[in-house]
């Protein structure tokens, strides 16, 4: 491999970044960090794929073709037809590829995967367009989330796996003193992948949520089958194609990783998941299917499911700065993020701003006005909101009038100057009683709830209890009192929920930074895994030790 030295340096920097947890980004998030011609080349590549067969995959002769993606911005079908393979074919290919892949050295596997990331980097702008027109994310978010941020998350998982796989020596001469003589044993230790891995993609973040499991599975010696959401295949198809090219260039079977597209009218995730040959499953999506996957016997299952994320108001230095920050957080990708805040707990007596009491009604009004003003900002609103990925989410939000709640800000379509047909919806705000069952459910999409509580302790109790029962991935808290902050941190820690305190300006509760933030703790019902801690990779392989008595 001609770039071996370069790739080893990338890997070593990533391993060190994982240990330090400080800022590190191998792949810059700003589009201007890339060649000036890259955006147009990416757009041309995207257009060239429309209404054609996707023929980049190296998986053998297709058994059919299918594709059902529709752009949330144009509401027109992309018309891309992907190769289809039966579950039996996919499993057979994976089994055949496994033997050589698991026998490859840890270092060589890692270098092949870094090579794949460098290949994917060359297609960031095409992936951005593919993500935008399958998920509804705005262009900037599509570029960052499915490009640089995804590559960094994949590299993070790869580096974590590399460190765990090299933690122990591969060989050792073991000598035990026995008085007048000694026993000599030559020992060898082999990390062995558990078997075929299945990655089940989601419709909103098809690349970002999938690549950690894909790269962790491959790094630990397991072949991977990637089953994308039918509505968001294209971005992952590019990633799989580049992985296959990297494998081929290194002399390995490209079918070590495969794309498994659903045939028309048939979903194959369950059939794949229940296959005895599949030993590892990565999943992002709803609770019902996630709970089913977690119930399967003989599988290592890594899930990110739904949760109810909270915002706790107690006291602030600058309320306007706070509500502006939260307005962006709830508007980003129209709230279609697992980290988006949903339940806003505000004490009935209001909150303190620099020692001055701000009444509850004023806090609510300023939050509402901030959201309304942001989404109607001609330069900020449409690009931040993006589009609603599917009609089900839109209809749920549009049905707020039927909920047992007071509508403070009604759902509203926001005109997108670039796409007249875009499926858009500004965040709706409803006021809900603290005793309502509604606050105990995830309301996916642009819909937030304001809950009047007795005091901050009541707010914290609700946030804690709901996280314990339903799960939560994030919690935002605003307090200027150190003792209160400590109390919030301790109570939410009991529910395994990370807390972001007093965020204003250009950092938001939705964000998670690769190599620093652990995405999902794995400790509550919102998910059983964390991206990426040692447990995320160690459960994918076992150590097998061999002994040979020395002469």
Dump the DSSP string for 429-476: EEEE-TT-GGGGS---SSEEEEEEESSHHHHHHHHHHHHHHH--S-EE
- Cα separation, 71 vs 50, in Å, equals 11
Q: Is 322 in the same domain as 292?
A: no
Split into its structural domains, the chain has a count of 2
Write the CA distances from 380 to 88, 140, 417, 429, integer angstroms.
Answer: 48, 12, 12, 19
> Which pLDDT score, from 0 to 100, does residue 275 have?
98
The CA dihedral of 216, 303, 300, 542, to the nearest 10 degrees, is: 30
Q: Is 290 in the same domain as 381?
A: no
Q: Is 302 in the same domain as 342?
A: no
> Which pLDDT score, from 0 to 100, does residue 143 have?
98
Burial of 161 from C-beta contacts in 10 A (0-12 / 13-18 / 19+) = buried
Of 395, 459, 389, which is closest to residue 422 (Cα–Cα)?
389
> Which pLDDT score, from 0 to 100, does residue 551 have?
78
Residue 177, domain member (yes or no):
yes
> Which pLDDT score, from 0 to 100, does residue 330 have?
98
Q: Is 244 in the same domain as 221?
A: yes
| pLDDT score of 2 more than 90 | no
Write the CA distances from 38 to 119, 120, 143, integer angstroms.
Answer: 14, 13, 12
pTM of the model as a whole: 0.97
Q: Is 202 in the same domain as 338?
A: no
Which residue has 């089958």 as its token pair? 225
| pLDDT score of 299 more than 70 | yes
Q: Is 329 in the same domain as 279?
A: no
Mean pLDDT within 246-260: 98
Q: Is 373 in the same domain as 287?
A: no
> Which pLDDT score, from 0 to 100, does residue 1 have?
60
- Cα separation, 285 vs 162, in Å, equals 28
Q: Is 69 in the same domain as 190?
A: yes
What domain range is 490 assigned to?
310-501
| pLDDT score of 398 more than 90 | yes
Residue 375, domain member (yes or no):
yes
Residue 151, domain member (yes or no):
yes
Residue 294, domain member (yes or no):
yes
Of 238, 227, 225, 230, which is closest to residue 203 (Cα–Cα)?
230
Q: Is 93 in the same domain as 40?
A: yes
Beta bridge partners of 66: 82
Q: Assign residue 186 the CATH number of its domain.
A: 3.40.605.10
Q: Assign residue 349 the CATH number of its domain.
A: 3.40.309.10
Q: Is 350 in the same domain as 369?
A: yes
């Amino acid at each position: 491999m001609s770039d071996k030295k370069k790739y080893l340096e990338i890997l070593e920097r990533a391993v060190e970044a994982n240990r330090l947890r400080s800022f590190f980004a191998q792949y810059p998030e700003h589009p201007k960090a890339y060649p000036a011609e890259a955006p147009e080349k990416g757009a041309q590549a995207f257009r060239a794929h429309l209404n054609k067969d996707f023929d980049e995959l190296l998986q053998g002769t297709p058994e059919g073709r299918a594709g059902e993606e529709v752009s949330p911005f144009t509401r027109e079908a992309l018309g891309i037809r992907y190769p289809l393979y039966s579950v039996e074919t996919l499993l057979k290919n994976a089994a055949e590829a496994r033997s050589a892949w698991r026998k490859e050295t840890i270092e060589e596997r890692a270098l092949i995967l870094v090579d794949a990331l460098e290949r994917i980097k060359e297609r960031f702008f095409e992936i951005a367009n593919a993500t935008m027109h399958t998920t509804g994310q705005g262009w900037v978010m599509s570029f960052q989330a499915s490009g640089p941020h995804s590559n960094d998350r994949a590299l993070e998982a790869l580096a974590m796996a590399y460190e765990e796989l090299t933690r122990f020596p591969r060989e050792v001469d073991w000598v035990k003193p026995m008085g007048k003589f000694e026993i000599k044993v030559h020992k060898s230790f082999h990390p062995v992948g558990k078997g075929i891995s299945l990655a089940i993609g989601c419709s909103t973040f098809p690349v970002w949520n999938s690549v950690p499991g894909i790269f962790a599975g491959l790094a630990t010696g397991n072949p991977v089958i990637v089953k994308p959401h039918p509505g968001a295949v294209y971005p992952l198809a590019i990633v799989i194609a580049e992985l296959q090219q990297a494998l081929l260039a290194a002399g390995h079977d490209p079918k070590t990783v495969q794309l498994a597209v659903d045939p028309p009218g048939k979903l194959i995730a369950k059939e794949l998941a229940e296959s005895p040959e599949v030993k590892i499953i990565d999943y992002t999506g709803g609770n019902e299917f996630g709970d089913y996957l977690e119930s399967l016997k003989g599988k290592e299952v890594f899930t990110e499911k739904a949760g109810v994320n909270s915002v706790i108001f107690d006291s602030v230095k600058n309320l306007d700065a706070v509500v502006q920050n939260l307005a962006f957080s709830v508007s980003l990708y129209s709230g279609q993020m697992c980290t988006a805040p949903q339940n806003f707990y505000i004490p009935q007596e209001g909150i303190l701003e620099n020692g001055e009491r701000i009444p509850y009604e004023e806090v609510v009004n300023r939050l509402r006005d901030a959201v309304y003003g942001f989404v109607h900002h001609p330069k900020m609103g449409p690009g931040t909101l993006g589009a609603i990925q599917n009609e089900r989410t839109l209809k749920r939000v549009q049905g707020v009038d039927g909920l047992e709640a007071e509508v403070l800000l009604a759902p509203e379509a926001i005109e997108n100057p670039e796409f007249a047909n875009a499926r858009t919806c500004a965040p709706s705000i409803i006021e809900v009683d603290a005793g309502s069952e509604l606050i105990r459910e995830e309301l996916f999409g642009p819909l937030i709830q304001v809950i009047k509580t007795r005091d901050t302790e009541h707010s914290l109790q609700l946030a804690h209890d709901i996280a314990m029962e339903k799960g939560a991935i994030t919690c935002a808290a605003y307090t200027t009192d150190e003792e209160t902050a400590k109390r919030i941190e301790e109570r939410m820690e009991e529910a395994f929920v990370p807390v972001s305190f007093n965020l204003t300006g250009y950092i938001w509760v939705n964000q998670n930074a690769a190599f620093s933030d652990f995405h999902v703790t794995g400790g509550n019902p919102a998910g059983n895994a964390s991206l990426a801690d040692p447990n995320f990779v160690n459960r994918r392989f076992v150590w097998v030790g061999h002994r040979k008595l020395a002469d």
